[in-house]
Structure 1
Amino acid sequence: MSMNFAHKPNYFLFAQLLIRHVEGYIKKHPDANNAIFDLRDIYELFRQDLASTTTNLDGILNIADEYTVDTINGDQKIISQYKIDAEQNSLLIDFNADALQALRDGKQIIAPDATLHQ
């Protein structure tokens, strides 16, 4: 008997979860220009998917940093840069100031086109 197991993570789902988490953080902390998330919280956010919280996190963040908001200067990325700090078990995110202000003003988040990524 042969059984094939395959685990193909859904990077776009996890990126969406992460961006919604970031959006909630921005609403709770309106003066924040950046955020530091404990990777244990990200692990819980990703429903205890260890691979997505560790090995695949950079790939997920590569998609998450493509989310934009319409600003007076055109569509701007929400995340200007990020850093995974394994020693401190944290994820550091810097926000784009224009996108951050647009979110605070009630603008909607624009998701990247999943058909353009492989």
Structure 2
Amino acid sequence: MTLEFTHKPDYFLSAQLVIHHIKNYLEKHPDAQNAIFDLRDVYELLRQDFASATTNLNGIMNIADEYKLETLNGDQKLISNYSIDAKNNSLLIDFNADALAALKDGKPIIEPDATITE
């Protein structure tokens, strides 16, 4: 008897968790233009999935940085830049100013299409 077991990470769900965390952060820090998150907090956020908080984090962030908001200049990405600093155990995120203003104005976040893989 054989038992096949596969584990397929859900990057889109993890990206949604990251975006929700960012939105909560921005509600608490309305003047923020960037954020620094400790990777231990990211680990907890991603349901203590070590692979998602380390090896797969770049893939998750590649999806998270596709979330947009409608602005006067068209749809703009919320995350303008991010970097993972393993030495300092942190995730650094820069935000797009136009998208931040739209978020503060109550515009909904536009999710990327999960059926399209880049």
TM-score by length of 1: 0.97
Moved over 4 A (4+): none
Q: For the residues of structure 2 that align with 1:51 and 1:44, how far apart are their CA atoms?
A: 12
The residue number in structure 2 matching 1:13 is 13
Q: What's 2:80 paired with?
A: 80
Q: Which residue of 2 aligns with 1:45?
A: 45
Give the equivalent residue in structure 2 for 1:57: 57
Alignment RMSD: 0.9
Shift of 1:5: 2.0
Q: Which runs of 5+ in 2 are unaligned?
A: none
Q: CA deviation at 1:2?
A: 2.3
The residue identity in structure 2 corresponding to 1:32 is A
Compute the TM-score of the two structures, normalised by the length of structure 2: 0.97
Percentage of identical aligned residues: 69
Q: Counterpart in 2 of 1:105?
A: 105
Give the distance between the partners of 2:47 and 2:31, measured in 1 at CA. 29
